[in-house]
Amino acid sequence: MANHHELKNWRKAKGWTQSEAADYFSVRKMTYWRWERRGLPRQGAARELVERELEAFRAEQDAA
């Protein structure tokens, strides 16, 4: 299960700002900021997208 620290590492690995990550997930910057600071969304489409991205990120890290 993904956590907010992993989300921050994902963003930094891409070299993105919080605004760019928010745009990628189609959420407001404040929403993304909250995800990184307080935790990921508990359910719904946003959670599923974040989980998929972080799963792919973990796979890339394992392959490196």
Residue 42, SS3 per DSSP = coil
pLDDT 10s digits, 3-33? 889 999 999 999 999 999 999 999 999 999 9
Q: Over the range 8-47, which residues count as b (16 or more CB within 10 Å of their CB) and which as e?
A: eebbeeeeeeeeebbeebebeeeebeebbeeebbeeeebe
Range 40-43 contact pairs with CB under 8 angstroms and sequence separation of 24 or more: 40/2, 40/3, 40/4, 40/7
pLDDT 10s digits, 30-58? 999 999 999 988 888 889 999 999 999 99
